[in-house]
Amino acid sequence: MEQHFFDAIENSPIIAAAKDTSGLSRCLACESQVVFLLFGDICNLSELVDQVKSSGKLALVHIDLIQGLSAKEIAVDFVKKYTKADGIITTKPALIKRAKELGLYTVLRFFVIDSLALSSITKQLTIARPDIIEVLPALMPKVITRICDMVNVPVIAGGLISDKEDIMTMLSAGAVSISSTSQDLWFL
């Protein structure tokens, strides 16, 4: 089953990241086999995930962005028990650890804003052991290459991608996929 997840990521050079209901409706028609849900609340999350799943795509919930969920492990339990989500995205290693215990796929998101943030990546990976990491902002090919060389998990690049050239640059730097909320990029 885990191989199915990695295959879906690798077969989706552009991962649709939906930030609202209109974006969600549109991304269900794109070729991405994976959808990052970057919005919702505890009342509608299950319905949003069901929409993604009914289109045959994997649904990963950015748990930090769901209104009504706390930054504690119980939020992961909620996602597992009350939705059909395939996995979570978060910046919090403790939530990654809990999701792994529950059998969910995991994406640990890093904001690489300086050399200290860059150097903390390997430490966080040792603690959390996510399936994949996502690095933001994406438009740093040298940094993406460096991160890809220093980690043993696939890397997704996200943030500030605006055109096909940006996508190709990040993929050439070693990212397995890019994630984007730009609906125009989903259909390239």
Per-residue pLDDT reduced to its tens digit, 70-127: 999 999 999 999 999 999 999 999 999 999 999 999 999 999 999 999 999 999 999 9
3-state secondary structure the chain: CHHHHHHHHHCCCEEEEECCHHHHHHHCCCCCCEEEECCCECCCHHHHHHHHHHCCCEEEEEHHHCECCCCCHHHHHHHHHHCCCCEEEECCHHHHHHHHHCCCEEEEEEECCCHHHHHHHHHHHHHHCCCEEEEECCCCHHHHHHHHHHCCCCEEEECCCCCHHHHHHHHHCCCCEEEECCHHHHCC
| Residue matched to tokens 């902002």 | 137
Q: What is the mean pLDDT of residues 163-182?
A: 97
Average pLDDT, the chain: 96
- Rounded-to-integer distance, Cα 40 and Cα 44, Å: 6
Percent of the chain's residues with pLDDT above 70 = 99
Arch. (CATH architecture) of 2-186: Alpha-Beta Barrel (3.20)
Residue 2, pLDDT > 90, answer no
pLDDT, one tens digit per residue, over 49-66 is 999 999 999 999 999 999
**Domain chopping of the chain, boundaries:** 2-186
> What phi, psi does 44 have (nearest 5°)?
-115, 0
- Over 70: is that where the pLDDT of 1 sits? no
Compute the distance between CA of residue 131 and CA of residue 129 in angstroms, rounded to an integer: 7
pLDDT (0 to 100) of residue 171: 97
- Is the model's pLDDT at 147 over the cut of 90? yes
Percent residues over pLDDT 90 in the chain: 98
- Residue the block writes with tokens 């990976």: 125
Helices 73-82 and 45-54: crossing angle, nearest 10°? 50
Please report the pLDDT score of residue 149 as a whole number: 97
The predicted structure's pLDDT at residue 138: 93
- Structure confidence at residue 7 (pLDDT): 96
